Amino acid sequence: MSGRLAQSLALALCLLAPVARAETLPLPDNLTDLNSNQGATFFLESGALANYFPIADNFVTQKTQAYCGVASMVMVLNAAGVPAPTSPEYQPYHIFTQDNVGFASADDRGSSRRRRRSR
């Protein structure tokens, strides 16, 4: 019974706890917050909305801390419909991933060199 009481108490504390939100710095006066009514109007009138959904549909998180640019490139290439290579984890489909866009880590390049030399 004490285990059930502990679970109930933990659940109650989680539900009653204040919501954690990211703290952001205030925007300078010459910038408009996208979450404001004026920001939403700017976004809708800009024509960027047509490009938003193809990018959002192809969203990927970066594989490592250093792959933010690679992840962005993967999203854009997939959204643009560029002919993609095969990827073992998504076969038989063709898709760009952070592993097949042509960038290899130093470890990968070293291991491929070792394989060529050992032949």
Q: Which residue in the block uniquely carries the two structure tokens 């300078």?
A: 28
pLDDT computed for residue 83 by the predictor: 93
> In this structure, how many other beta carbons lie within 10 angstroms of the beta carbon of residue 40?
13
The predicted model scores a pTM of 0.55
DSSP structure string for 29-43: TTS--TTSHHHHHHH
What ranges do the domains of the chain cover? 40-119
Q: What is the pLDDT along the chain (119 residues), one digit of tens a residue?
A: 566 777 776 766 666 666 667 778 889 999 999 889 999 999 889 888 888 889 999 999 999 999 999 999 999 999 999 999 988 889 999 999 999 987 555 444 444 444 445 44
pLDDT computed for residue 43 by the predictor: 87
pLDDT computed for residue 48 by the predictor: 81
